[in-house]
Structure 1
Amino acid sequence: MLILTSLLLISGVCVAVDLTINGSVGGTVELPSVLGSLKVEDFRFVWWIFNGKIRAEISSGHIEVDNQAQFKGRLQLSPDFSLTVRELRLEDSGEYQRVGLKEDGSQIPTYKIQLQVNESITTVQIQSELTWLPEILTCAAYLVCSSTGDPRPSYTWKKGKQRESSSELRFFLLPEEGDVIASCTAANSASEKTSNVTMRCIPTGDKIQKEHKHTHNHT
């Protein structure tokens, strides 16, 4: 039976995170143990701890994983002590600690991994608005980028040599420039997608004109 024991039972000094791993909802990650050539028989036990509880352990050569609510059927502990987490969920994000005790009674250094699970970005949309400014014979362009999936991605605009990190982009567009392409990329640690819009400034008596020659999403 898996012992739900606090990390406080393992003495030692807290250390900073050793590794950060990014994953996407529904995906799989492997948390490495970095124990090299050490074998099961070299240890009294090796534990993987998350949220103050042992989630997987090797003790006296016996492997056991937590099959309670959150991780039921989703954990696998390998003979090299690496921990695989499948069908990732947002709540799996957090700090995982690999601790252990050798047969001679010496403690192995604690290894900490920060797992960050994000929703994958599924689509990117661009809304565009062109306003003809007759007094300066140019158009004012205003673009807004949005996406579905992760509610807090980063946005990056690209227009020619111009780069801007924002969900919005403003610029002036002359009629003689013809078709101008702007692209927006939404990204997080799990995925990224890009959408393009082609715009042209056409002199008009209307205050506002909108033109999308084509808009598409791609990874």
Structure 2
Amino acid sequence: MVGGRLSCFFTYVSVLLPGVCLQDVETYTCKRNIHKKVGDTVELPSCLSPEGVTMAQWKYGSSVIADKNMNISFKSQFTGRLELNPTTFNLTVRRLTLKDSGDFSFISDVSERQRKTVTITLQVHEPITIEPAVTFNSSWHASTNSCRVSLECSAAAGSSVAYSWAVRTETLSGSRQHYNITPQDGDTGFTCSISNVVSEKSASVTVKCSSDPRGSGPDLIVVLCAAAGGCLMLVLIVGVAVYFCHCKQSQAGSDSNDLTVYADVTEVAIGSRTSSSMKPCTLYETIENREDTVTHGPHTVYDQIQFSRMRKASVSPYQEIS
């Protein structure tokens, strides 16, 4: 009696266990979360056996978009992009957009009994098409004879991405990093990668540690180039201004007869004389012409200036020295 009961028990287990295992395998292999990028095509699995199905339909949110009788909704956002497999009841969606992200539900009946609803979550992502921008700043620390490198990696605005860094054999996470290097390390490469579940882009920079503050990075070179360009522009502007001023002065001077101080003095001398045949040209000639008016006058500029002075009789017993 006992042996018969044990035999029935093992028979029952042998029949039930494969079904349980099959259901577990079926559940395990069914992908419930799917990631795709914009423009892709996705096939949403029903995850259940199609045998004996009397009713089957797919919903997006609360709206029915396809059913077993091949009725496809033409009033939804999926118009012209859906295809239902009549054998497996898998649903294909083409030309995915960001708005297609959400929950898709498969509802089915077997022998008029409803089975468990299968929900597939679809997430559509924008692919990364632009490399990240990497900036850095290196500062020398004499106390440790090393450089402190500060790095920042940034993706395009509005992107939802994950950041990672590769430095030698290390992998770091986050958009900002601080790293110490020494002059003995030589050129050190830093690679930043941005990624989502459907795409990835990377960018790299090379940093060299130096105790010379002029070697702290490309920012100093940019500043020096900008300063040199500004100085050159200033020199050109001043040169052009001087050139135009010189041209204006030359043009104005061409309209006058005399260009020197001596000529100005000569004009005065010419105007004070009545003879047009005697025209002194310089200040010295004007002084020499003064000598012609005196019969026994002095012969030097100093004496000519002192000529009109009256001398008093000397009371000194010594000889007067002129």
TM-score range (shorter-chain normalised) is: 0.7 to 0.9
Task: For 2:213 and 2:120, locate their aligned partners in 1 and report how far apart those are by CA, in whole Å.
Answer: 60
Among candidates 109, 118, 142, match of residue 116 of structure 2: 109
Q: Give yes or no for contact 1:128–1:143 (8 Å, CA) kept in 2.
A: yes
Percent identity, aligned pairs only? 31
Alignment partner of 1:118 is 2:121: no
2:46 & 2:181 partners in 1: Cα distance?
55
Contact 1:90/1:118 (CA < 8 Å) preserved in 2? Answer: yes
Match of 1:71 among 78, 99, 106: 78
Aligned counterpart, 1:173: 181
Q: Is the helix fraction higher in 1 or 2?
A: 2
Letter in 1 for 2:175: S
Q: Which has the higher contact order (CA 8 A, sep 6+)?
A: 1
Is it true that 1:33 corresponds to 2:46 in the alignment? Answer: yes
Q: Unaligned regions of 5+ residues in structure 1, if any?
A: 1-16, 212-219
How many pairs are equivalent?
A: 188
SS, match of residue 65 in structure 1: coil
Q: What is the root-mean-square deviation in Å for CA atoms of aligned residues?
A: 2.3
- The structure where strand makes up a greater share of residues is 1
Counterpart of 1:182, as a letter, is F
Return the alpha-carbon distance in structure 2 between the equivalents of residues 207 and 199 of structure 1: 10
Partner of 2:193: 185
TM-score, normalised via structure 2 length: 0.54
Larger deviation: 148-157 or 162-171? 148-157
Question: In structure 2, the residue corresponding to 1:63 is in which secondary structure?
Answer: coil
Corresponding residue SS for 1:199: strand
The Cα shift of 1:115 comes to 0.9
Matched, 1:19 2:32: yes
Tell me what 2:313 maps to: none
Quote the Cα distance in structure 1 between the aligned partners of 2:33 and 2:158. 19
Deviation at 1:142, TM superposition (A): 1.3
CA contact under 8 A between 1:117 and 1:190: conserved in structure 2? no
Corresponding residue SS for 1:26: coil
Q: SS at the partner of 2:70?
A: strand
Shift of 1:155: 0.6
Between the aligned partners of 2:36 and 2:105, the Cα distance in structure 1 is: 17
Structure whose alpha-carbon radius of gyration is higher = 2
Cα shift at 1:56: 1.2
2-structure distance, mates of 1:56, 1:114: 17
Matched residue, 1:52: 62
Residues 1:200 and 2:200 are matched in the alignment = no
Change (3 A) 1:187 1:82: same
Q: Is the 8 A contact 1:132 1:138 kept in 2?
A: yes
In the alignment, the residues of structure 2 paired with residue 66 and residue 133 of structure 1 have an alpha-carbon distance, to the nearest angstrom, of 68
